[in-house]
Structure 1
């Protein structure tokens, strides 16, 4: 059996795993990243980075040139209740006023290669099979195996040891489950479906969100479809089109998502020049783990980042932003304490879930309330009908959904900034709440 050792083992080379690998390597730590697939590889997602995520990419020191397929957008177009609004991303100090899109087939590889250039050792087509748990119950590495292009175990077997292990292995997080960390049923879950189409509007300046999806029934009457939809221009001749549904919706579990997407595209596809003939592949679906649906985020030497810790925004289904932020916070704690005596290091690593809770806990708890509200169709329709036509309400909605508001302490903060900040403070702000 092959043996490898490092200061930190990262399981998963998505944005979260690659980001923490890059941060720690840049700080001089020995880091190994294990990725069960080989790059390039796909991920079912909206392919969009909001300005918050773009800011995190900047912290990482990673370039996003247009020449490498990064397409800028200036804001969000909201459609619903007979209204169509284009709202530019708010201009907030320290946060870029633009978003980015890039297909995940290339985006994830860009993050992984950045981690490699930073000094992390990346093992592709190597799958963590089980944790290596010491006599004291703490994780001390992982047992792994080589995989083929389909992710099937083919060997050779290997053992990777480190005093700190990062679970960045996505929504199912088999590593976290093997350490006794199951997902929480008191957190919202979502399902997203996504497809790629060629479109003449592939370079549009706005990403688009349909907060009210409609189609025509057999009688030619307009009817509301469950969930929300998006169209993200990718700037390369294609767009990412998708839809999401929360488990708080009464239709959850009984919806045929592919039929729903087909109905929606048939009804509105002319706006983007898409139909069944412009499809570039099958419709695919994935689960969205929201609002800290797996905790605690540190458990016996294992830290959870990104989707493995349920760090998807309940307001809009965005996960990359929080994957990158949690990776940065975890890297700061690890870099500070990893070389302390073992008993001190283990105690101090408990700061990580507290930091994540302070940063995101209140906002995610507010999102849980939101997800429960929109699960009631009558309330959702009321909000769309009477809110979409009011500019100040929609400015509030965009800032809230994208988590883009100013610190109320700065002079530029307006009433909307102060209201959102107050709302996130009056709800529990810990990752375990």
Structure 2
């Protein structure tokens, strides 16, 4: 039995109750097996055993008082996975589905995503099963203050720098930062995604969506193609989906679909993104409202975004949303590129099917790394007490994304898997992290 398979088997047995984490670990370890086997030093130093175990997992209760005066209790987490390359870096997710398995899956992925940026940041993730939807500002503030009261013991600008994620937007980051500042009596870049007037970075909001499209643009350029004229299907209507749609349209593509948790819209001539923004961001309503003012649009309840023929598919909603049956439909209808805007939105069997079918598949750890890249650039601006212009940040973002594509593509070529960006991205990231781990000894 090979080294990587042994580790996969041990993990599967030890963490049978953590399917999301096992899925992420298996995907990575399987794809880097050839690189690992080529260097006996990895097994001798137990690199994989150390890589798949978080350096630290913090779990804590979060008591808070709602508007009715009742005491509520949620669970808080921070998974500090790997700091070989720099301070832990990863978002705080506030959603009822949050549990240790999901956060370990996200934190493990974050190690490799952050390594691909070539910026000095390690991997981590955290959050709570608290749901900010339907809560008043006072309730959200009370929760965030209680959450940060414990989390503040474990983070710092040179230790662990959390960011936003699902459920953690500008409002929540503001409350969290305010409580950290109050507790520690210091104004430091301990959180990213801050307001522009107090340490935030321009282009951070757009970064993940823009970066996703820049990645696809670079891939197409290597084929001698352009984004202009391509039909693009997008799932989701949140931050990533919205700005991916905006940048794709800016570069001449036709964005045909978007979705939310209840249904999806299809407009053959291209979606009116200003209307989507007004519905989702201003009114915070459902996409079904779009069809009421756009008669050429088709609105459908439930799933179905991937049933519409397209050239490029950008899953930007949530994990495991693009299933094997969806992959088959996309291939049958002529898709040429699938790029992940969300974290692992494509199931393993669907990923394998797309790659075997010769589709250019862009894994999330590479394609959606724009958000964490600009978060790291925010850390740099905070350290220098400077604020860069939008164009400066956007130019650095494009440079980083192009570098990620080229690094992943080169690694895939080197190991005899040309065009396989899953293998290429995982190997390129693993080589960087493992080199640092070996250099730093058994820690």
- Which category describes the TM-score, using the shorter chain as reference length? under 0.3
TM-score (norm 2): 0.27
- Whichever structure has more helix as a proportion of its residues is 2
Asked which structure has the greater RCO (Cα within 8 Å, sep 6+), the reply is: 1
**Bigger share in strand:** 1
